[in-house]
């Protein structure tokens, strides 16, 4: 393990990147920032996190358990996505629409629905689209009944699994988010679940960016306002009940930085849209983007045992670009690690380790380290013996 190089400010980071770590190619690029400006949201509960690291950038009443409305459907989908990944369900699997799902979640209920017909069989992928795009209560009930036998049993499984994922303030009484005194979550819980979906199920997260979905000849638009007019937005879920007010879970990706925002307790659809956009804008403005390495930059050298050369250059296997707040820059470390000494023969471009850019102990960027040349085996027995003595005395 190479020694950790501590960077205490921007100037030192750039100087070290240019002179010590990657003289030929490391470079810097800063965007305009409004860092450290205070933010006061109108939402009663709010949280903004970095999707990659989980770092909380802003929070307000983030652990208060409140009615989450349809935003709790994230957990319904997690149960489905985990079953798909485990192979216990398939996207083309058909689920039957019961009378209870049709009556409590269908058109006659007056709530969000995909208009699934009574006793029809619907493919799981279509039910997923119904939940994600149309916030369909009938689809949620159908999924719960077919996966667990009843919605109540499914809700118990949801609570248990949410706690395992770290959403410890979450208690589910149904699969829909419809009003129930015991059905509560915090905005931190919702952010944790959103990040889990984004990072664990990229193949299913794509459903959250679908702009519209048609079922039973009825076309409905995705209710997430960020998808229409916020640059980089690609998810996730809105919610509303009289008890909960207007809420939204949103995610957007800009310049390699993904943020997740959760807001709740707003008074109108317009307030919800404006608040989500404002908080995301504030979050993105906090970061400065820096190119630390270019692919092929030299980051050190490794000792080679039994080769025609004693050392081989170590190169970065890919570009490293990081976006950091001022606070994160104070906590930044760069770690180069490889297992040495290397044993000849060594191939050119051979992966031998990693470079990690760390913030407060969390890796925010990681790229492979490869050899910058080939080292054949040394045929001389005496040279190999001298190598062995050096390694025993001085290490790698």
Here the tokens at position 80 are 């489905």
Is the omega angle on the peptide bond into residue 268 within 30 degrees of 0, that is, cis?
no
Contact call for residues 375 and 312 (beta carbons, < 8 A): yes
Q: Which of 135, 186, 251, 323 is catalytic?
A: 135
DSSP string covering 246-272 = EEEEEEEEETTEEEEEEEEEESSHHHH
- In Å, the largest CA–CA distance within the chain is 89
339, two tokens: 């297992």
| Contacts for 347 with CB less than 8 Å, ≥ 6 apart | 371, 374
Q: Is 70 a catalytic residue?
A: yes
Extract the tokens encoding 101.
Answer: 């799902």
Residue 222, SS3 per DSSP = coil
Asked about 329 being catalytic, the answer comes back as: no
Tokens 């679940």 sit on residue: 193
Burial 32-62 (b: 16+ CB within 10 A, else e): eeeeeeebebebbbbbbbbbbbebebbbbbb
Angle at 288 between CA 287 and CA 294, to 5 degrees: 130
Cα–Cα distance list, 138 to 30, 152, 177, 206, 248 (Å):
48, 15, 12, 22, 21
285 is catalytic: no
338 vs 1, 23, 66, 296, 358, CA distance in Å? 6, 20, 48, 17, 16
Q: Which of 70, 72, 186, 323 is catalytic?
A: 70
Q: Residue 341, preceding bond cis, omega within 30 degrees?
A: yes
User: 63 is written with which tokens?
Assistant: 């652990």
Query: Apex CA 158: angle with CA 152 and CA 163, to 5°?
Result: 135
**Shortest CA distance to 213 belongs to which of 116, 121, 142?**
116
Q: Give the residue numbers marked as catalytic.
A: 70, 73, 135
């Amino acid at each position: 393990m190479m020694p950790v190089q501590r960077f205490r400010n921007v100037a030192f980071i750039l100087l070290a990147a240019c002179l010590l770590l990657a003289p030929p190619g490391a470079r810097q690029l800063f965007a305009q920032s409004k860092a450290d400006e205070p933010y006061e949201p109108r939402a009663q509960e709010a949280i903004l996190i970095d999707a990659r690291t989980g770092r909380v950038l802003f929070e307000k009443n983030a652990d208060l358990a409140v009615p989450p409305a349809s935003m709790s459907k994230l957990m319904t989908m997690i149960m489905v996505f985990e079953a798909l990944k485990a192979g216990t369900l398939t996207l083309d699997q058909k689920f039957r629409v019961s009378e209870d799902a049709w009556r409590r979640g269908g058109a006659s209920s007056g709530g969000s629905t995909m208009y699934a017909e009574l006793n029809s069989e619907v493919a799981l992928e279509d039910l997923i689209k119904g939940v994600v795009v149309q916030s369909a209560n009938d689809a949620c009930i159908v999924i719960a009944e077919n996966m667990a036998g009843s919605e109540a049993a499914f809700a118990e499984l949801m609570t248990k699994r949410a706690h395992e994922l770290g959403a410890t303030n979450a208690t589910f009484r149904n699969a829909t988010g419809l009003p129930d005194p015991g059905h509560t979550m915090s905005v931190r819980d919702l952010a944790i679940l959103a990040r889990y979906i984004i990072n664990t199920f990229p193949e299913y997260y794509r459903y959250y960016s679908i702009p519209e979905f048609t079922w039973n000849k009825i076309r409905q638009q995705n209710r997430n306002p960020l998808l229409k007019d916020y640059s980089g937005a690609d998810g996730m879920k809105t919610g509303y009940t009289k008890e909960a007010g207007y809420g939204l879970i949103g995610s957007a990706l800009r310049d390699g930085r993904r943020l997740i925002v959760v807001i709740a307790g707003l008074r109108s659809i317009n307030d919800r849209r404006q608040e989500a956009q404002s908080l995301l804008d504030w979050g993105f403005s906090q970061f400065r983007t820096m190119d630390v390495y270019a692919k092929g930059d030299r980051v050190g050298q490794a000792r080679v045992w039994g080769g025609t050369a004693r050392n081989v250059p170590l190169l970065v296997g890919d570009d490293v670009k990081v976006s950091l707040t001022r606070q994160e820059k104070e906590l930044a470390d760069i770690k180069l690690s490889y297992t040495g000494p290397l044993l000849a023969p060594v191939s050119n471009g051979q992966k031998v380790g990693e470079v990690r850019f760390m913030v407060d102990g969390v890796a925010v960027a990681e790229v492979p380290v490869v050899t910058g040349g080939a080292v054949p085996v040394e045929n001389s027995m005496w040279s190999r013996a001298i190598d062995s003595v050096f390694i025993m005395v001085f290490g790698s």
